[in-house]
Amino acid sequence: MITKLVAALLVCVSGESAVSQSSAIATVTPVKKVVDLMTSMLEKGKAEKHEEEVQFAAYKQFCDDTVVEKQQAIKDAAEVMEVLKADIQKYTSTTNRLTKEIASLDDDIAVWKGDSKAATQVREIEKADYDATHKDYSESIDALERAIAVLKQQAFDRKQSLLQVTALNDLSLIPPQAKRTIDAFLQQEPDEGLAVSAPEADGYQFQSKGVIEMLEKLLDKFVAERTKLEKEEMETRHAYETLMQDLTSQSTEAKEDRTEKAETKAKKLQARADAKGELGDTVTTKNADQKYLDDLIATCEQKATDFESRQQLRAEELDAIAKAIEIISSKAVSGSANKYLPSLLQAKKPALAQLRSDSHSLTQMHLSNYLRERARDLNSRVLSLVADRVDADPFKKVKKLIKDLIVRLMEEANEEAEHKGWCDMELATNGQTRKEKSTKVETLNAEIDQLNTSIAKLTEDIADLSKAVSELDSAVAEATKLRREEKANNKEAIEDAKQAQTAVAQALTVLQEFYAKSGQATALLQQQPEAPEIFGSPYKGMQSENGGVVGMLEVLQSDFARLEADTSAAETVAQKEYDSFMTDSKVDKVSKSKEIDHKTTKKQDETEALTVKSADLEGTQKELDAALAYFDKLKPSCVEAGVSYEDRVARRKEEIQSLQQALKIINGDDIA
């Protein structure tokens, strides 16, 4: 291996020396370069080996520190996870408890609200009855007072008194007996002498005294009854206000308690959500740390193994370079290099081509140089070819060649002029055709793209609408099925509730009769011999004070009654919602079906239009392709490729002039 390394270095250095100057080779030998290069490599290798040792030491320290850090982080994460799991469980238990308590409070609030509403309704009825009765009493008292006042006037006005007394018969509170007395009083006819003498008027007033006394008694009675009615109204109103105050207080307190519990529940739910989120983050972080730790340990172990291998290879490499330096620096190698290598690096001088001036005349040289200069100036291959022929051929052949070239160039000029006119006409016609067809192709492509987009959109819309109609049909079918099942279930529940109420009523009757008899039996048994000591008291049945099981049955009976009422109400609401849903679904389906028909017709029309446009595009594209193909045929002979027609004419003219000048040179007319 050392021999190959030395040989490669010598070849490299020899190649570099071959391109250097001979003076540099004399001062710096190849062996010296090789030794210097390997010495530099040896120093560099030692430095890199040391740097690698320092780098690995830092990396190993990182591995150790990071492993300890990640292990601690994983341990801490596991502890945090346990705490978070416990917190989540605690939050869940608390929220479940609060949910039950909130539901209980909602039930109480609903009951109190119902009681308040019922009490208010009862109070409104009572108040209406009171107002009507109080109005009757007030009207009756007022009428009695007016009647009594009129009857008691000194200047008695029988007509006025009759009007006031007659009005009493219209009052609903006047007893029938009093009304008969009033009617009898009204039917009395005063004697003729009474209307014209004062004593007779006094006699009439005396006759009405009994009526006045009766009316005063009625007045006292109505006043007393109205006072009693007002007192009862005040007590009733006070009781209502007290009840409403209690219900409002209880409801307000329950609402505040519910709000507090709801807020606490929300906080607990948020805390549980935060704990779950933190737990998820902790689990993710812990898993990531664990994966990172596993990868780090594996990587660090692999790096340690690689470091040992690299250090061993570096040591072997340094030993090899040192040995190579020793070998190259030995007399055997350096002596031979100094002896033999310089001769290999001498550059060979190129042999110069001999001039052929002896075989060429001065005129040929002058002509050749002239033609080459013009060929270079005009970039003319024709003149360059003639210049080559001047160097090789006799003048006789050159003259003929030049004349033939002049004739051919002139013919080409005429042909090109004719061809130019034909090309201009064909290119103009072809360009117009290509422009028209390209424009039409672009227009058709745009229209086809627009139709394709519209058809795709219509297809998508039709599919969506069809899917919606299908889903609507499914929803209607499902709703009908559910409504049928719900109706059957409700009917069954109502029938079961009715039967249950009947059965519970029968059970209540049996138990109530039994416990009624058991109470009497107990009273009789008290006169019998005392029960054995094993019994603490006489047996009265399993019903504590005849109230427990009976109360439960009564509650159960009320539950079944409420079940019947609630189920009936729910059935009514469900049927109403179902009818509304069916109506809305029918309207929606009709609308969507009409839209499907409209879009389907539009899609068919646009599909037909697309077929026509595609056929037009195909025909127009063929015409455009034909025009483009014809243009490709015209391009080689009609389209200018880098050199314009005017430039070609000018260059051909100069070539002809140059060839004519060459003939003059050959003929000796213009020899410089």
- At 538, the amino acid letter reads P
Contact of 469 with 592, CB cutoff 8 Å: yes
Cα distances (angstroms) measured from residue 641 to each of 230, 426, 513, 651: 124, 17, 127, 15
Q: At what angle do helices 548-638 and 395-525 cross, to 10 degrees?
A: 170
The angle at the Cα of 71, spanning 66 to 76, to the nearest 5 degrees, equals 125
Q: Give the domain ranges of the chain.
A: 395-522+545-639
User: What is the 3 state secondary structure string of 550-613?
Assistant: HHHHHHHHHHHHHHHHHHHHHHHHHHHHHHHHHHHHHHHHHHHHHHHHHHHHHHHHHHHHHHHH
Q: How confident is the model over 621-638, as a mean pLDDT?
A: 82
Dihedral of CA 63/64/69/72: which sign? positive
Q: What is the pLDDT of residues 405-416, one digit of tens each?
A: 777 777 777 776
The dihedral through the CA atoms of 61, 62, 67, 69 has a sign that is: positive
* Cβ proximity of 244 and 119 under 8 Å: yes
Tokens standing for 520? 């009497």
pLDDT band at 341 (very low <50, low <70, confident <90, very high): very low
Cβ count within 10 A of residue 655: 20
Give the least confident one: 139-143, 229-233, 238-242. Answer: 139-143
Q: What is the pLDDT of residue 314?
A: 76
**Would you say residue 536 has pLDDT above 50?**
no
The stretch 489-507 carries a mean pLDDT of 77
Rounded to an integer, what distance in angstroms lies between the CA atom of residue 348 and that of residue 93?
A: 102
Judge contact between 396 and 370, C-beta under 8 A. no
From the CB of residue 642, how many other CB atoms can be counted at a distance below 10 Å? 5
CATH (residue range 395-522+545-639)? 1.10.287
How far apart, in whole angstroms, are the C-alpha atoms of residue 558 and residue 210? 61
Q: What is the mean pLDDT of the chain?
A: 75
528 or 464, higher pLDDT: 464
Can you give 416-442 as a three-state secondary structure string? HHHHHHHHHHHHHHHHHHHHHHHHHHH
**Per-residue confidence at 535, pLDDT binned at 50, 70, 90?**
very low
pLDDT at 154: 46
Q: Which positions ≥6 away from 210 have C-beta within 8 Å?
A: 181
Cα separation of the two ends of the chain:
72
Cα–Cα distance measured from residue 448 to residue 234, given in angstroms and rounded to the nearest whole number: 90
Other beta carbons within 10 Å of 307? 17
Rounded Cα distance, 61 and 357, in Å:
85
Q: Which pLDDT band, with edges at 50, 70 and 90, does 242 fall under?
A: very high
Measuring CA to CA, how many Å separate 490 from each of 441, 557, 574? 70, 18, 10
Residues in the chain: 672
Lookup: tokens for 550: 């009976």
The 3-state DSSP class for residue 499 equals: helix
Please report the pLDDT score of residue 16 as a whole number: 46
Q: Among the residues of 526-547, which ranges form H helices?
A: none
Alpha carbons 451 and 445: distance in angstroms, whole number? 10
**pLDDT confidence bin for 492, thresholds 50/70/90:** confident
- pLDDT value at position 414? 75
CB 430 within 8 A of CB 631: yes
The torsion angles phi and psi of 534, rounded to 5 degrees, stand at -65, -25
Per-residue pLDDT of 79-104, as tens digits, reads 999 999 999 999 899 989 999 989 99
| 197 backbone dihedrals φ, ψ, rounded to 5° | -130, 145
Higher-pLDDT residue of 520, 400:
400
User: How many C-beta neighbours within 10 Å does residue 98 have?
Assistant: 20
Q: Is a pLDDT exceeding 60 seen at residue 366?
A: yes
